[in-house]
Amino acid sequence: MWVTNCRNYSGKSSNVRKRFGSIEHPLFLLVLSNSEIATVTGISGAGSFEQYIQYTPAADAEIVSNGKLKTIGVMSDAPSGAATPAVLTRAGLNLSQCAHFLINSGLQIVPGVPYYDLRAKHGYDIRVRPGVPDAPEIRDASRRLAGCCDCDLAVIGETIPGGTTTALCVLRALGYNANVSSSFAANPTALKEKVVREAMYGASISPGSLRDDPMRAVKLFGDPMMPCVVGLTEGFLNSGKEVLLAGGTQMGAVAAILKELNLSDDVVLATTKYVFDDASARFIELVEALEIDAFSAYPDFSKSSISALQKYEQGEVKEGVGAGGAMTLACISGYDQDAYRQEVEAVIKQL
């Protein structure tokens, strides 16, 4: 099985196909956001050129929806040439035939494909002002939106450059001594920690002091993706739907928020083996602290002839755009590792 259960606290089946085998109407939701933190030099490897980093979510959205760029014209591949995880997500959705839904939660640049607009502001620089002043409004709007969606499993992914740094700051504010991953092979942990220290000092907040007020942590130190996913999850759970958070340490931070809101018991994480194997991310430690079920997908791109995919095996990119969740959907639908990898290659060739 190429999607494995890495941690199981619920006691439910560890076989992903058995766990979700009764699902008939899954829905993949992709939250698109921007944060000013992405413009800190050296903090994000999202986007082929640093000056175009903020175009990444819009480009990802076009690739997921169309399999090609439509209006953006700027590829969201990494500077190293590693393929954007949007192609991984597109492949998983192609195979599973899962419907997808794009949500604009604070974009600065919008894609040329249909999306639902929460009319949220983009995320601000957490070092100088609250990152998401409208976090409560985003959460409420997203909760209502989830109540209108027809599905029995909600798979929620995200694309927001710089999001691992805001995730780290929120985790620290909630008292988690965790780390986060990076789209770079060499995680710029010192730079991220510096941003976190400056943000918390500027807000006069000490680590762990906001454990009982997680939404204030989001408002001060988060990004607009977070309250959107929190609200969506809350809405789906209230409607009796299952929720799969598709992502690595950023979704781990969302799961931490949900835990402090007493909403995490029925939530599952699905990411890639590249995140689980990243020693600098310490993702396993976070999952264990959250006591949440987690799955890991491994497409084994070492067998691919495309160098842009082989770079994943070298530690580039690792995850993003809900790729781990999209792989899980493909696996649930009966596709093996080879079939999935071939579909990814086909998506890249069509770009």
Angstrom distance (rounded) from CA 351 to CA 168: 33
Query: pLDDT-based confidence at 183, cuts 50/70/90?
Result: confident
The alpha-carbon radius of gyration of the chain (Å, integer) is: 18
Find the Cα–Cα–Cα–Cα dihedral 256, 315, 294, 190, rounded to 10°.
Answer: -20
Residues 115-141: pLDDT tens digits? 999 999 999 999 999 999 999 999 999
pLDDT of residue 149: 96
Are 127 and 202 in contact by the 8 Å Cβ rule? The answer is yes
- Global model pTM greater than 0.85: yes
**Helix runs in 8-103, H state only:** 16-19, 56-66, 85-96
* Token duo for residue 73: 């014209």
Residues 240-285: pLDDT tens digits? 999 999 999 999 999 999 999 999 989 999 999 999 999 999 999 9
pLDDT at 45 over 80: no
Are 268 and 245 in contact by the 8 Å Cβ rule? The answer is yes
Domains of the chain: 3-350 (3.40.50.10210)
Q: Phi and psi of 10, rounded to 5°? A: -85, -20
Residue with the larger pLDDT of the pair 71 and 196: 196
User: In this structure, which amino acid lies at residue 108?
Assistant: Q
For the segment 218-247, the average pLDDT, to the nearest whole number, is 97
Angstrom distance (rounded) from CA 279 to CA 48: 25
For the segment 220-247, the average pLDDT, to the nearest whole number, is 97
Query: pLDDT-based confidence at 76, cuts 50/70/90?
Result: confident
For the segment 293-309, the average pLDDT, to the nearest whole number, is 96
Angstrom distance (rounded) from CA 155 to CA 233: 10
Are 166 and 35 in contact by the 8 Å Cβ rule? The answer is yes
Distances (CA, A) of 347 to 88, 275, 325, 340, 342: 8, 23, 17, 11, 9
Query: pLDDT-based confidence at 110, cuts 50/70/90?
Result: very high
